Structures are given as structure tokens and as C-alpha cells.
Structure 1
């Protein structure tokens, strides 16, 4: 599917999110990459074969406020 030079990573490679977006819909929270991966705003992914990759946001980025 990818026509870029050099070719984008395939949907089954570890760096699949580096592929170029061919459709971007931030108002709906998703992008379609040229390797067929649907990338969601929450970092979840739907691969072309129907496999689901759960969201993988970095942990520990939220502030915790405690009452004194």
C-alpha cells in the first residue's frame, strides 16, 4: 500500500506508528496510516488483520494532589 520512498514500516513491525497518515480525523480521534493501521487518539491501534493493540500511554504523567 505504501508508495513512499523509503517505504514506511509494515503493519506488523514494531515501529508501525511511524508510517505516514493517509487520513487524519482529529475530531473523531483517529488516523489511518499508509500501512493500513488505524491509530486512535488514546494510542490504541487496529491492525489490518483485525488484531487490536491496547492503548499504551506512558505511565506516571499525572499529578496527584493530596489534601492536607
Structure 2
């Protein structure tokens, strides 16, 4: 898996989104992290085991729109 030093957080870690980007596709709105997590521009995530993490929304920003 990860060959970085120090190693990237695993997909099960609370800080899993801090892993190194190994493949970025900004034109499609997603990036693959070293730990196998796919992160989307809308802040949603797809974990390696298939679990989906919905986008986080800041209610203060939504209320201002």
C-alpha cells in the first residue's frame, strides 16, 4: 500500500482525507488518495470498502446564498 514516510493515514482513520493524492482528475471532479479513498470536489468520498461519505455542507454558507 503506502510507501510514503511517514505513512499516509489508512482509509479507516478519522483523518483519512489527509493521505497523498496519487491521481488527480480535476476536470472530472475527483482524486484518488494513496489509501484508496476517492474524494470528490463536493467533499463527498468513496471509501475502498464501498462505503459512501456524503458531502459536508456548511449551513452558514447555505443560509447566505
User: Scaled by the length of structure 2, what TM-score is found?
Assistant: 0.91
Q: Which runs of 5+ in 2 are unaligned?
A: none
User: Who wins on radius of gyration, i.e. which is larger?
Assistant: 1
> What is the number of residues matched between the two proteins?
64
Aligned to 2:16: 16
Tell me, in whole angstroms, the C-alpha distance in 2 between the residues paired with 1:24 and 1:59: 28
Higher helix share: 2
Q: Which runs of 5+ in 1 are unaligned?
A: none
Aligned to 2:30: 30
- State the secondary structure of the residue aligned to 1:23: strand
Instruction: Compute the displacement of 1:19 (Å).
Output: 0.3
Structure 1 ranges of 4+ moved more than 6 A: none
